[in-house]
Structure 1
Amino acid sequence: MSMFKHSAAADSNSDDRLEQATHWFLRVGSESAGVEDLSEFKRWIESDPKNELAYKQVSAAWAGIGAHAAAPEIIVARRNALDDARRAANRRWSIRAWRVRSLALAASICVALIGTALYFYLQQGVYSTGLGEQRALRLDDGSLITLDAKSTVRVAYSDDVRLLVLERGRARFDVARDPARPFRVQAGNQTVVAHGTQFNVERVANTVLVTLMEGRVSVTGITPQTDTPAVPAPGKKLSIPVVELSSGQGIQVRANGSATVVRKIDVQQATAWQSGRLFFNNESLASAAERVNRYSKLQVEVDPSVADVGVSGTFTAGDASAFVEAISTYFPVRAEHVSASVIYLTAQD
């Protein structure tokens, strides 16, 4: 019996079937696919008409990107997904390992399909993403915005300045150089001024996070950590703090304006959300849940009694159940299903 033959329980789960279809699409399309792979694929297709339908859905979605195939973001996404498939085809997996890797592949291809299928040019207006959705937005100056799930950005270009306002969520900005027009991103009371660079800006748990992958940025809106008076002395100007960040650095600015600079960030972790992974490094449970909720219909609500529990680990975007299971297993946290779409986390009695 093929180890890819699904159980009756999996038959009732369309998400599982699409995961399998995604795996097979990448596996048989890889350069290393052999006769054994094709034989197993044929058995899987013929075992249930719904399998063939799921495979056609994945194939059609992938083909739908064709009109944008020359965009660099799509070329990279396709190359990464196929590289995953080539590596996977050379492994012998257990059923459990296959499900984990299949889910990761499904997440990667779905991010690519959802994000790049909505790739287009823009200059003015408000742009948003929904639950589990990502978008790549090309500005007419050549800059690129990649919006995370449940995020909103307002674009206001003029002859003098390129202004973008991140109203919620997270976005990556790949900035085209234009010395005549500064590129500014406003998030709450903070403004990030870019100098031809690549960086993330995120609003989560009443804080603003800036992570810089390449180049240089200036961040304003920071409360001075000195005894500088709020009102300047006669004849003197009020000193406005500006934090300069260079490649591989980040900053977290809290609601009161106080800030913490991270001198060295993990760039792979900072950009992992674009490929469907969520990294937490001693993150408060409240903010971790807020990020998880961007991707899943199953929403996680956190009681104040456990809001500050520190969470570390790697999770697949959209898999809220696995997140809750891990939290309730390793911490004194109880998970209560309030409804079919809400899980409430509170302290154990």
Structure 2
Amino acid sequence: MTDQSELAKAEDEAANWAVLLADDPEDAELVRAFSAWLDSSALNAEVWARTLRVHRGMAALSPATRDRWPETASVGQRKKIPVDSDAMRRDAKGIAHFWRALSRKANWLPLASLAVAACLTLALLPQLTLRLSADFFTGTGEQRSLLLSDGSRLFLAPESAVDIAYSDGGRSVRLLEGSAFFEVQPDPGRPFSVDAGGTRTTVLGTAFGVDRTDAGAVVSVVHGCVRVEDRSVSPEVSDNLGAGDRLAVTRGRGASLTRALPGEMALWRRGELIARNLTISEVVESFRRYYSGVIWVAEPLASQRVTGLYRLDDPINTLAEMAEAHGATARQLSPWLLVLSH
């Protein structure tokens, strides 16, 4: 586990590098020193990747930067994707120009450093708050299997969090983020319910999965039956689901019911993903919780459709093979940036 003082030190250094590079992004000696700092530890690379993500969210790197990313050979099966230090340096220049413009407006370079630190704090605060309010949570690429006090079993997907409240009259779980699967021990006197952002699923004894998404929630039943209610959408949802039912509740759009084989539900527990006529961009979304960095897919590759069974626990090689099958390549431009493009 990363020591908090080390993390704070790395974040301060990242903010300082942004200011220094903003002052003179063409200084070759400065860039060499920055590259040495970046390569000196995985923590430095991770913190800098967060800085880049915050920057992209605020203003985004110039699209021209992506056009100048160098071509590399496609990646074969189970081979390590090479890290491109030149592209990493160009990313540094891109963010440097942004912060230089900011500091000129303020006419005070320390203000740019404070801005970087403030943005990093704003970016990380939601995760910190979430974890403080959760009873159990998982990190990137991590799964957990938990035996609850009533004998029910809870499975957490990567980057997921739950809050559990048991009482004499009921068993309540809040899915704060991500995906969870439940094998519930029957107890008619204590109904078991899961709340995912307003979508409430209630059962007596069953096995089912709940996914909380930015758009709403998805409930999938493997066996038994559940009741799903959501009064925040129109029309309101109040449906009974049985084995093989999958109900997707979308904020502002209502709900849609589909059928699936129970054995194909919550395949993330086995580290697998089934894609049926999905765009590559949609498939990549499922891998983001398994990769500690940014995955970027260029057009027209992002819009191409795929069908297949994919391994989630090896995102770099799986996505490289997917890209290669469509005449594209996967390039790891830094330890925390994976690009798929033609």
TM-score by length of 1: 0.53
The answer on 1:251 being equivalent to 2:260 is no
2:145 to 116, 132, 136: 136
Asked if the contact 1:164–1:186 (Cα under 8 Å) also holds between the matched residues in 2, the reply is: yes
Gaps of 5+ in 1: 1-95, 101-123, 226-239
1:193 Cα deviation (Å)? 1.1
Secondary structure at the aligned position of 1:196 is classed as: coil
Asked if the contact 1:126–1:153 (Cα under 8 Å) also holds between the matched residues in 2, the reply is: yes
Asked if the contact 1:204–1:290 (Cα under 8 Å) also holds between the matched residues in 2, the reply is: no
Deviates more, 1:205-214 or 1:137-146: 205-214
Secondary structure at the aligned position of 1:293 is classed as: helix
Percentage of matched positions with identical amino acids: 29
The answer on 1:261 being equivalent to 2:257 is yes
Asked if the contact 1:218–1:245 (Cα under 8 Å) also holds between the matched residues in 2, the reply is: yes
1:146 Cα deviation (Å)? 0.8
Alignment correspondent of 1:175: 184
1:277 Cα deviation (Å)? 1.6
1:157 to 145, 160, 166: 166
Which amino acid letter does the alignment assign opposite residue 274 of structure 1? R
Secondary structure at the aligned position of 1:268 is classed as: helix
Distance 1:303 1:184 in 2: 41
1:292 Cα deviation (Å)? 1.1
Asked if the contact 2:222–2:263 (Cα under 8 Å) also holds between the matched residues in 1, the reply is: no
Distance 1:268 1:319 in 2: 22
Asked if the contact 2:237–2:254 (Cα under 8 Å) also holds between the matched residues in 1, the reply is: no
Alignment correspondent of 1:145: 154
Alignment map for 1:29-44 (pairs within 5 Å)? none
Alignment map for 1:192-341 (pairs within 5 Å)? 192-221=201-230, 223-225=233-235, 240-262=236-258, 264-297=259-292, 299-302=294-297, 309-331=304-326, 337-341=332-336
Gaps of 5+ in 2: 1-75, 80-132
1:219 Cα deviation (Å)? 1.1
Which amino acid letter does the alignment assign opposite residue 240 of structure 2? E
Asked if the contact 1:187–1:203 (Cα under 8 Å) also holds between the matched residues in 2, the reply is: yes
Secondary structure at the aligned position of 1:274 is classed as: helix
Which amino acid letter does the alignment assign opposite residue 242 of structure 2? S
1:304 Cα deviation (Å)? 8.7
Aligned length in residues? 213
Which amino acid letter does the alignment assign opposite residue 189 of structure 1? G
Structural RMSD (CA): 3.1
**CA deviation map 1:192-221 (0-9, x unaligned):** 112311001112453422110000011111
Q: Which has the higher contact order (CA 8 A, sep 6+)?
A: 2
TM-score by length of 2: 0.54
Distance 2:289 2:338 in 1: 15
1:130 Cα deviation (Å)? 1.4
Which amino acid letter does the alignment assign opposite residue 343 of structure 1? L
Distance 1:188 1:196 in 2: 22
